[in-house]
Amino acid sequence: MKTGSPTGADFIKAIYPKAKEVSQKTGIVLELILAQAAVETGWGRSIKGNNLFGIKADKNWTGKTVEFTTKEYINGEWVTKVDKFRAYDSWEESIEDYGKFLTSQPRYRDLFLPENL
């Protein structure tokens, strides 16, 4: 491994403790938390505002934000646009908010372990 070039294993090792805590607290499947963070950040190589999950900052968000260019699939076409995303002071804060975000949205109910429903 090159210095300053994290591996996927390094990234998972770094986020695992908080991801496990949030999984146990919310019932969100641990592997889902780890996998989405890996996909959204390219295994920790591209993280803006410590946002590990690409959660946008909608009009209800009162915390910190960061803007960056993103590509989204809208109406059957890829569109490049600048959008506002939630920003955090740490990865742990991002993971904690991810848990709160998913548990507050009824559309994500199927992501939870059966014993937590």
Res. 2 pLDDT band, cuts 50 70 90: very low
The pTM of the full predicted model, rounded to 2 decimals, is 0.86
Active site residue 97: yes
Condensed to tens digits (0 to 9), the pLDDT of residues 58-92 reads: 999 999 999 989 888 999 999 999 999 999 999 99
Nearest to 19 by CA among 36, 35, 33, 40: 33
Query: Looking at 92, 97, 110, 115, which residue is catalytic?
Result: 97
- What's the CA gap between 47 and 68, in Å, rounded? 11
Give residue limits of the domains in the chain.
8-116
Condensed to tens digits (0 to 9), the pLDDT of residues 30-58 reads: 999 999 999 999 999 999 999 999 999 99
Active site residue 83: no
- What's the CA gap between 25 and 83, in Å, rounded? 31
- What's the CA gap between 5 and 109, in Å, rounded? 36
Instruction: Return the CATH fold of 8-116.
Output: Lysozyme (1.10.530)
Query: Looking at 67, 72, 77, 83, which residue is catalytic?
Result: 72
